[in-house]
Chain A
């Protein structure tokens, strides 16, 4: 188990969740893996039996087609889809809370982050967020399509020219997380990463305020 967990650790590992969003998905993943393994073993066993023990009454065609081909997948998929709908609703950005709002703009091949409050605070390829608070990212692109992804915090959202998308993420603890462009965007796609620093809320304000338009970490 320790070995398994250490294998799943990593700066960009979606399985090493550091926020509720990613944790829900990681849990869903482990449930689906267990279920899939069971189904795989079941189908494999029936296939082997059909070869070694043909003609048995419990392997009747009707039973196999209706039970295995219709009822089983329908039940599994209905349960899974319902779960993922419920989970999907929880990922939605609801207006009630008023979290921190950070604008992320992708360009070939760098990320620009604009912070709220203090006028014109910018950073490049380096994202500062408060820990323990939900943050809304409004994501867009200045040229081609990119995708904004911090795997340890949650799913990705595309940065599309002419459109603005919003995603809400939360880092539970202060720390360092990796961010990366997930959508192929040309020659610099592989190097289009960004570093995420989650700070204690007061520390976050202190860091963001002195940032000016020339920005920290500009390349």
Chain B
């Protein structure tokens, strides 16, 4: 196969545009392009930020005066619950996702993210899930148990309405988007880079996002598990959190904060990444301490998982246990401090220059340092016991999150908006907007430290005038309205810039990273050809690259077969090892998102059997995504330019989708580990144990299930072996599917015979959950095996094109290991309460 002949830059642009562009009109709904979806994520997140901001103003209006009759406690509880929920789940996380989706491929020198349709699906899940929450707010049935949803307040006894279900289901829905983005970001950074971009040349932003995405993969599963368990309790009365029947409300707190604290760093790290990209530009000096910063990010990533109990110091656990978490909480300040000093050192080493983004970054430094200092204070157990659950904590968390996320994002908006719009601002409103936001913020929250220490608890809807909190609250409220005016001014400024800003040629800030080598505003394909990177990718010459790339003198500087192509590289050395053919715009992600939304709505309105219908539709739609991928004949290596060639991704050894499955299973294993932790926690800590009736499991059936699980994994591998020997794998795949189906049947039989009533006690409910986990994994395994048969029938498999079966085999292997562990856990849990044979 020949390399298409080079063409003129204009012709190349038109050819690529014809392939990559999203269709206008209704065709917009089929967009899968990262530039389009990144912008949509950012705009949607900003809309939710505005909604959350309005909620905050209503809260401040209520608290401005004592004994306020503005809203009653029922409405007030919805307001603060939704403010926290919207800002955390519907603003901060999606905003960073949008930011990453828009910028990451351009910074890495790729044409798109690894899984464009997954980006689109994640976007729809986010918008639909967010809409459910906002609709509930407008209908007056919004969640009202706090954004932390502590049981038993959020359980059906004390929150009988639909409110809590909306939180649990809506947020879980939105988290599908967060997890899919995490997998996509991880794989894109590891595989989709420009040739020559070895791991030591990654732009620092990529390191930040890599660690963030991995943290999401391990941080979100505990919350998803907690939400599922609580929804199971609310819907089917399985007593995971009911202290009378062997559950424990503390289990929820552990699962929630095991997610909740890493979440803070998941929000901060991308912003820190943005800072690390902006500071060198304005310092006119490469980032100082690149390797130390990476070690610091890794340290933060881990340490942030070891301090969740500092939200729970008052629950009554041993002082030594508190000490672990207290020390870890203090410790995490060190790598954060290191980053701050690395930024200062970068400024001190260069020739710094002031501009609007730097103004906002100065605001970041002031606010975030104060937030960090109060954070260290709160890490000290005796002080925490006084300040916990008061407005001191409200002040601290806003200093950290607004300082650590909102201010850097405002700076980033001014820094990268010219890239999005191709226009520069003339800075008229950005300066007063900054002073209003900055001044209003400090007026609101600095005083709040004192309000808290004067004893004002969080989440109270009113307070008596004699409490001495009157003036502080009034001033905080005035400050919050100043801040709101500042944000309004910011919006006006952005609109003015988008509408009336001056066009510029290229790279207005003199930045030194690859995203400025694309035309601005960027075309859908980002780069007309892909660069070869020869230095660290956050300190190169984008203008030089830009000219060469537009002329098609890089890699893949041609349009071939109407394919959307980008390069995959080896993770460490960064040399091309595959041509990744990306999927065309399609409306399937929207349909899949709608079907997923239908599942959520069915569950919300307790139509559980009806939910099976949209579930089946969702699975079918997801499988149909792959109809257009792959080929029916072997292609062999394809030329990629510069005399090099590489295999197309479905013929490559380790394509992005294989890695995606590895990371998915990593998140899945975290979910399973959290479930096992929950089971052990309940058996060890919860009141009302041992259970009144102990399960004695059917050992024969459990052994049979284990054998079938292992058999399925072996059949999956045999299918792969036969395919490699150019024989049909269908028979083995059929046996694999049959084994999985057998596991499902046997596990169902065990549940039916041994756990007739899982609502009896947490002992029964936990066994039910573990067996349910095994059941679901074999169910999915069965579908994947049958899918392999289908791919074989369509001629998409060969010795070279074995990707589908290799991904399936990963699943079968995992299902066998996790399944056997699950069965052993069932036996161990029964024995631990005396259920010996």
Contact = CB atoms under 8 A, between A and B. Distances in A.
Report if A and B associate in a common complex: yes
Interface of A: 7-15, 22, 24-25, 28-29, 32, 36, 39-40, 43-44, 46-47, 49-51, 53-56, 59-61, 64-65, 68-70, 72-74, 76-77, 80-81, 83-85, 87-89, 91-92, 108, 143-145, 147, 149, 151, 154-158, 160-163, 165-166, 178, 180-190
B292 A187 contact: no
B222 to A, nearest CB: 19
27 contacts: A10-B455, A25-B385, A25-B386, A29-B383, A32-B376, A43-B344, A44-B365, A49-B348, A54-B352, A59-B349, A65-B341, A73-B337, A74-B334, A81-B380, A88-B323, A155-B386, A157-B385, A158-B315, A160-B316, A163-B243, A180-B457, A182-B389, A182-B390, A183-B150, A184-B389, A184-B458, A187-B77
B685 to A, nearest CB: 9
Nearest to B244: A162
B314 A40 contact: no
A51 B347 contact: yes
Given A13-B453, A151-B455, A39 B352 contact: no
B807 to A, nearest CB: 43
Contacts of B387: 14
A144 B288 CA distance: 51
A47 B365 contact: yes
Contacts of A59: 345, 348-349
Nearest to A151: B455
B421 interface: no
Contact of A144 (B152, B385, B450, B453): B152
Nearest to B455: A12
B338 A10 contact: no
A73 B333 contact: yes
B152 A145 contact: yes
7 nearest interchain CB pairs?
Answer: A155-B385, A12-B455, A162-B243, A165-B316, A69-B338, A69-B341, A162-B687
Contact of A39 (B373, B382, B450, B686): B373
Contacts of A188: 73
Given A32-B383, A64-B344, A183-B150, 15 more contacts: A11-B467, A12-B454, A13-B455, A13-B468, A22-B386, A40-B369, A49-B348, A54-B283, A60-B345, A81-B380, A143-B158, A160-B250, A162-B243, A163-B687, A180-B455
A77 B389 contact: no
Contacts of B74: 187
B238 to A, nearest CB: 17
Interface of B: 73-74, 77, 145-146, 150, 152-153, 157-158, 243-244, 248-250, 283, 288-289, 292, 314-316, 319, 322-323, 326-327, 330-331, 333-334, 337-342, 344-352, 354, 362, 365-366, 369-370, 373-374, 376-377, 379-390, 450, 453-463, 466-468, 686-688
Given A64-B344, A65-B345, A74-B334, A10 B73 contact: no
A184 B467 contact: no
A46 to B, nearest CB: 6
Contact of B349 (A61, A183, A186, A187): A61
Contact of B292 (A10, A29, A65, A160): A65
Contacts of B365: 43-44, 47
Contacts of B158: 108, 143-144, 186
A158 B312 CA distance: 9
Contacts of B152: 143-145, 161
B460 A189 contact: yes
Contacts of B688: 162
A5 B340 CA distance: 35
A163 to B, nearest CB: 7
Nearest to B336: A73
Contacts of A181: 457
A108 to B, nearest CB: 8
B563 to A, nearest CB: 46
Nearest to B153: A144
A39 B355 CA distance: 26
Nearest to B339: A69
Contacts of A158: 314-316
Contact of A10 (B344, B384, B461, B468): B468
A55 B330 contact: no
B230 to A, nearest CB: 14
A154 B380 CA distance: 14
A72 B337 contact: yes
A28 B377 CA distance: 9
Given A56-B348, A77-B330, A157-B314, A24 B388 contact: no
B249 A160 contact: yes
Given A13-B468, A55-B348, A24 B382 contact: yes
Given A10-B467, A81-B327, A44 B454 contact: no
A156 B385 CA distance: 5
Contacts of A50: 344-345, 347-348, 352
Contact of B454 (A14, A36, A77, A160): A14
Contact of B348 (A24, A61, A91, A149): A61
A14 B458 contact: no
Given A73-B337, A84-B326, A36 B349 contact: no
A7 B374 CA distance: 20
A190 B153 contact: no
Given A65-B338, A88-B382, A190-B73, A12 B314 contact: no
A3 B308 CA distance: 38
B344 A46 contact: yes
Nearest to A90: B382
A203 B742 CA distance: 75
Given A89-B319, A162-B687, A84 B352 contact: no
A147 B389 contact: yes
Nearest to A146: B153
Given A36-B377, A190-B460, A162 B686 contact: yes
B204 to A, nearest CB: 15
A183 B460 CA distance: 10
B70 to A, nearest CB: 13
Contacts of A36: 370, 373-374, 376-377
Given A10-B468, A54-B352, A162-B244, A145 B377 contact: no
A145 B461 contact: no
A190 B345 CA distance: 48
Nearest to B685: A163
Contacts of B319: 88-89, 92
A169 B323 CA distance: 21
A161 B373 CA distance: 34
Nearest to B337: A73
